[in-house]
Structure 1
Amino acid sequence: MSPLAGITVLDFSRVLAGPMATQILAELGAEVIKIERAGGGDESRRFEPRLPGGESAYFFAFNRGKRSVTLNLKSPRGQEIARGLAKNADIVVENFLPGVMDRLGLGYGDLSAANPGLVYISNTGFGQDGPYAHRKGYDTIFQALSGIMALTGHPGTPPAKAGVPISDMTSALWIAVAALTGLVGRGRTGRGAHVDLAMMDVQVSLLALAAARLFALDEDPVRTGTEHPGRVPSAAFECADGRWLHISGSDQHWKPLCDVLGLPELAADPGLAANAGRVAQRARVMEALSGAIAGRGRDELADALRAADVPVGEVNSVREVLSDPHIGAREMVGHIEHPVEGTFPALRTPIRIDGLDRPPLAAPPLLGADTDAVLSETLGLDPAEIARLREEGTI
């Protein structure tokens, strides 16, 4: 049995943060009903890269295991149907600008009046209040505004975005946390809640260590590349074969590292035995380490350092990590069977719970594939009524 079996999620969200969160809930066993615009659906259905049958690999990444219902939320009948579906839901997720769902008669006040146990999550860019509440934004906008972009990259180079859409994806995790927290709270009080979750707030929360430097030292952190601002060594080094190796060690790793690299003078220097001394002499230490590592092949050196119990990681490409034997043994790459695209690879939800079923890999839905079934099963509409709704453009 899946841990969220019996939980129903009504998902009005689009693109990435909301859909990623509801995919997690779906793969933990919840029934997720994805509400999409008739004709077009979630705009990410048109995002690149496209597969041979025309489906979007972007959409595939965040919408597995859901049911798709097309609904015109601008029509009174469409709004009525949405309210009917919400009466039977445990969780609602939406990512419209503040006030939009209220104007549609689908805000928390409207839906919770008929369903007091509803956990309603509003995931917006800047929250339900504040001077930026009605601004629009995308992942990289939040990376820029939050300071993350200013911290990413090498000294003396322009700011850089993270290699993955970190603002969207971390917000997705907090949506999932909020949903599960809301269910626990409901189990104790019998009532649901309205969760105001702003992507900007999530990004600011990621500044915990950078903010600690500001609070403690009045130092505004800057770009440091792969180097850690408070620990030496912790950086990526280029090896003789042009590949890169990341080494991150604490005091107990310092002498073994020096021994492997043939740097006895550094190992014997009492001023470098503790991290504070190495930070104070960062330039000297990094120059010596870089020179020694530049003469060694990456794989040989990685093996030697691991044998000495020094933490080390090869800087892998996406292709390299997805073909890594450990990732294979953990079965992180699975496959879905899609009615248009056939067999297609997919990354698994990483949660494993002893005694419970492993989260399955189910295909993302075709647009509107479940409209008739959901309206029939949940609202009791007969085929003739469903046909009328389709003819009038409600579904």
Structure 2
Amino acid sequence: MRPLDGITVVDFSRVLAGPFATQILADLGADVIKVERPGGGDESRSFEPRLPAGESAYYFAFNRGKKSVTLNLRTTRGQEIARALACRADVVVENFMPGTMDKYGLGYEALAALNPGLVYVSSTGFGQSGPYSDRKGYDTVFQALSGIMSLTGHPDTPPAKVGIPVSDLTSGLWIVISALTGLMERRRGGRGGHVDLAMMDVQASLLALAAARIFALDEDPGRTGTAHPGRVPSSAFQCADGGWLHISGSDQHWGPLCEVLGLGELAADPELTANEGRVAQRERVTAALAEAIGRRPRNELAEALRAVDVPVGEVKSAREALSDPHLGARGMVGHFDHPTEGRFSALRTPLRLDGADYPEPGVPPLLGADTEDVLADLLGLDRDEIARLHDEGTI
């Protein structure tokens, strides 16, 4: 058994944030029906990198374990079928521009009238209201507008995007939170509800520490590289072999750190015992640490610091991180067997619930692979009707 067994999700979302969310729900046991455009499907099916049989590894990353149904929402019959699917759903996820689903007769009010228990999550760039609600945007646009890009990079370099699509991924997590919250509210009151989730709002919520400095100090934070604005030491340092080591310590780590690095003078300075003093003398402390760390090989120094409980992390490439023996022991990299691409590696959902099965990565569906089965088994359409829908371009 998995936590969401028996929950049906109809997924109208495309590309990243929504599909990432519904993939998590599928991993947790939900039956996710992904509605895609006939002919092309989710845009990400054409994204790089492409695999030998033509499938997209990008699509694979966010659409495992779902059923794919092709449906032309621009047609009256397609809209009728979509409504019928929503009537049998617990959750609907969509990421169209505001008003689009209403135009198709698939907005929350129309569907809730047919299915009062429906939890309906609208994930848009700027929300259903506000002066920017009709704007389009992508991950890096939200990184720029939210202030995240201005905070990323080193003080003497231009703004930089985060190395992963952080706006999309964090919005996807909030879609999951929204869906689960809606299901809990329905359990208590019997009705579902409409969640207006804006990616811009999600990014603003991530500014908690930066906002704290604005609210407390009237300071607009800038780029600090790998350094922490309120803690010293907390930064990455280059080692003798060219590798980088990130050290992040509190007051209790300061003495052991200095001992391993041979910095007795700093350890003996009472002004540096507390973090406040080290922050005030950031340049002096950082320079001394950089010089001492620069004389030691990365891996040797990392082990020496771990031996005295100083928190450190080697700065690894993505390949190195995914090959780490700890992640291997935790089983974070799994695989699935795809009908055309064969065995393919995949990251597993990290949630582990005591007493529940730890899900293996599901298989990403071929475009429209489940259309006939879903329409026949869930909606009761016969094969002749399904053939007519196909001939007229509805599916």
Asked whether the two chains share a fold, i.e. TM above 0.5, the reply is: yes
* Structure 2 SS opposite 1:247: strand
Match of 2:31 in 1: 31
Corresponding residue for residue 257 of structure 1: 257
Corresponding position of 1:222: 222
State the Cα deviation string for residues 51-70 of structure 1 (Å, max 9, x = none). Answer: 11110000000000000000
What stretches of structure 2 of length at least 5 have no aligned partner?
none
Following superposition, the deviation at residue 378 of structure 1 comes to: 1.0
Map 1:348-359; keep pairs closer than 5 Å.
Answer: 348-359=348-359
Q: 2-side partners of 1:41 and 1:187: how far apart?
A: 34
The one-letter amino acid of 2:3's match is P
**Match runs of 1:341-380 below 5 Å:** 341-380=341-380
- Asked if 1 retains the 8 angstrom alpha-carbon contact of 2:118 and 2:191, the reply is yes
Aligned mates of 2:360, 2:27 — CA distance in 1 = 6
1:207 equivalent in alignment to 2:201:
no
Q: What are the Cα deviations for residues 75-119 of structure 1, in whole angstroms up to 9, with x where unaligned?
A: 000000000000000000000000000000000011000000000
Q: Any conservation in 1 of the 2:334–2:360 contact (CA below 8 Å)? A: no
CA contact (8 A) 1:351 1:359 kept: no
State the Cα distance separating 1:361 from its structure 2 match. Answer: 1.3
Other-structure match for 2:333: 333
SS in 2 for 1:110: helix
* Aligned-partner residue type, residue 141 of structure 2: I
Superposed, 1:1-395 pairs within 5 Å as 1-395=1-395
Letter in 1 for 2:244: W
Cα separation, 1, equivalents of 2:359 and 2:135: 36
Paired with 1:104 and 1:215, the residues of 2 have a C-alpha distance of 44
Aligned equivalents of 2:362, 2:255: Cα separation in 1: 50
The AA in structure 2 aligned to 1:248 is S
Paired with 2:90 and 2:23, the residues of 1 have a C-alpha distance of 15
Counterpart of 1:112 in 2: which secondary structure? helix
Alpha-carbon distance in 1 for matches of 2:362, 2:13: 19
Amino acid at match of 2:14: R
| Counterpart-to-counterpart distance in 2, 1:289 and 1:52 | 49
CA distance in 2 between counterparts of 1:228 and 1:70 reads 48
Q: Please tell me the residue identity of whatever aligns with 1:161.
A: K
Please state how far the C-alpha of 1:360 moved relative to its aligned partner. 2.4
Q: Any idea what the Cα deviations from partners look like across 1:257-285, whole Å, max 9, x if unmatched? A: 00000000000000000000000000000
Partners of 1:319 and 1:140 in 2: CA distance = 23
CA contact (8 A) 1:73 1:104 kept: yes
Task: Work out whether residues 153 and 224 of structure 1, in 8 Å CA contact, stay in contact via their aligned partners in 2.
Answer: yes
- Which secondary structure does the structure 1 equivalent of 2:378 belong to? helix
Indicate conservation of the 8 Å contact 2:17/2:171, yes or no: yes
Tell me how far apart the structure 1 counterparts of residues 356 and 107 of structure 2 sit (CA, whole Å).
Answer: 35
Q: Matched residues in 2 for 1:55 and 1:243: separation? A: 36
**Kept after mapping to 1: 8 A contact 2:335/2:360:** no
Distance 2:332 2:356 in 1: 17
Query: What is the distance in 2 between the residues matched to 1:324 and 1:220?
Result: 38
Q: Distance between the aligned counterparts of 2:357 and 2:305, measured in 1?
A: 38
Three-state SS of the structure 2 residue aligned to 1:367 is coil
For 2:232, give the aligned amino acid: V
> In the TM superposition, what is the alpha-carbon distance from 1:359 to its structure 2 partner?
1.6
> Are 1:12 and 1:34, in contact at CA under 8 Å, matched by a contact in 2?
yes
Supply the AA of the counterpart residue of 2:233.
Answer: P
Aligned-pair identity (%)? 75
Secondary structure at 1:254 match in 2: helix
Shift of 1:156: 1.3
Letter in 1 for 2:319: R
Q: How far apart, CA to CA, are the structure 1 residues paired with 2:283 and 2:252? A: 21
What letter corresponds to residue 189 of structure 1 in structure 2? Answer: G
Q: What is the identity, as a one-letter code, of the residue corresponding to 1:36?
A: E
- Structure 1: 4+ residue segments shifted above 3 A: none
SS in 2 for 1:379: coil
State the AA in 2 paired with 1:68: S
TM-score, structure 1 length as denominator? 1.00
**Contact 1:126 1:201 (8 Å CA) reproduced:** yes
CA distance in 2, matches of 1:145, 1:175: 21
* SS of match in other structure, 2:376: helix
